Amino acid sequence: MILFLQSTTIIYTLLLFAGTSPVIGFVIPGTSQQGCSSKTALRTKNSDRAHTECILEESMGNDWRLFRAKLVAQEKAEKENNNASQSSVSTTTTTSSNTITTSSSSASASTTTGSSTSDTELEKQGQLGEMFGNAISSIFNKASNQKDPPSKVDNYRGDSIGRGVLHNDLVYQDPFVSVDELPIHIKPKKITLSKHRWAHAIDHLEPGCVLIANEKLGGVFHQTVVLIVDHHEKTGTTGVVINRPTTDGNLLKIASEQQTNLDLSLKLAFTSSPVTYGGPVLTEEFAVLHGFGHVEGSKKLAPGVFIGGSEELMTEVRASRFDPRHALFIKGHAAWVSGQIEREIQKGVWYIASASSDFVLRYAGAETNEEDDANDLWADILNCMGDNYVEIAKKYSGRGDRRMMP
């Protein structure tokens, strides 16, 4: 069977050879098999396919984290609605209690006055009551011939029932729905969430999540955002700081002036790539963060977020298929032994959050718009998380991300 796979630059012919163990080969049109090693062809195919799969995953909206973020936003909106409804019910109950108390006081006063009235006064009141009764009866007889003005809200039609929910907000048009049944009848409100800009707190660690430094944390981790790369109960946790872009220059300059283990070929290929301080462990080593795709040698941390695979990316850069400015080289990393990061989180040193890929790749070529604080990722994520985090960002932000590398 022959299947043609078309990419942006090369058309591959996929040959499936029948046999006891099927073999898959890739032949690039215009070249012979002798002139092109199978290793080179497969390497080119893997990188190109990885990039294509990444694009398709994004275009199809296959980001499970975004789905979870929508659920979190939905739960938050429902909680706010429930709190507002409870406040409304409490106010109504208080008003009714005051009305009943006033009515009871009036009734008591009337009873006391009535018991002290003499028989003569009762007879006079009876005559006056009969006269006023006839007058009022004639008035209502005239009014009965006139049509009542339409009311704004018809309670019997279910326009305003239960906890102040309007008729149009109900899934089923049942005017006799009870207060207890109301939650299952209310239409779920649609939550609109931008895939470019979202973040919310989570209560556990997972690869691809971020640690937001507490506003009171000092030292090299002051107002840092740490991307979690690995987390295991026995082996511990590793992460990289992603919001400390260096002000000292590009990769070629930094890697040449400081003691590093970066290969010269990588320095020349990624000359214009940005560099960030990643942490105090193994500062002579570099890791590359990117959104190109799950190429050979890389690890997928989250949909659209990858770390590693510098050799494959170098091939793509040389073929002009990848912009080196979209590769963030991270110098050093952070590490915690087993149980250490959990203790720090319990003490309030870190806030755990799940954030959009564009937040994570802020300094790896991700686009920004007018909503973003392009120079302060720490404050930007806190503002997007909402609740009390907004106040923290407003009170403590200001220094920004670009600082001198430790």
Task: Say if residues 243 and 222 touch (Cβ distance below 8 Å).
Answer: no
**Residue 122 placed within a domain:** no
**Residue 240 placed within a domain:** yes
CA neighbor of 266 nearest in space, from 297, 241, 239: 297
The CATH number covering residue 266 comes to: 3.40.1740.10
Task: Say if residues 310 and 213 touch (Cβ distance below 8 Å).
Answer: no
The four Cα atoms 260, 263, 269, 273 give a dihedral, to 10 degrees, of -20
Give residues with Cβ within 8 angstroms of 363, minimum separation 6.
242, 243, 245, 274, 276, 328, 377, 401
- How high is the pLDDT of residue 126? 59
**Residue 53 placed within a domain:** no
**Residue 315 placed within a domain:** yes
Alpha-carbon distance of 406 to 403, in angstroms, equals 9
Question: For 338-366, b where at least 16 C-beta lie within 10 A, e where not — what string?
Answer: eeebeebbeeeebbbbbbbbbbbbbbbbb
Q: How would you write the pLDDT of the chain (406 residues) with one tens digit per residue?
A: 444 444 444 333 333 333 443 333 333 333 444 444 444 444 444 788 888 888 877 777 778 888 888 888 888 888 877 776 666 556 655 655 565 555 555 555 454 444 444 556 656 555 655 665 565 555 555 544 555 455 444 544 444 444 455 555 555 566 666 666 666 666 566 677 888 999 999 999 999 999 999 999 999 999 999 999 999 999 999 999 999 998 877 898 888 888 888 999 999 999 999 999 999 999 999 999 999 999 999 999 999 999 999 999 999 999 999 999 999 999 999 999 999 999 999 999 999 999 999 999 999 999 999 999 999 999 999 999 999 999 999 999 988 998 876 6
**Residue 306 placed within a domain:** yes
**Residue 403 placed within a domain:** no
**Residue 8 placed within a domain:** no
**Residue 281 placed within a domain:** yes
Domain containing 217 equals: 195-396
Angle, alpha carbons 56-62-64 (nearest 5°): 155
Query: 196: which DSSP letter?
Result: S
**Number of domains into which the chain is organized:** 1
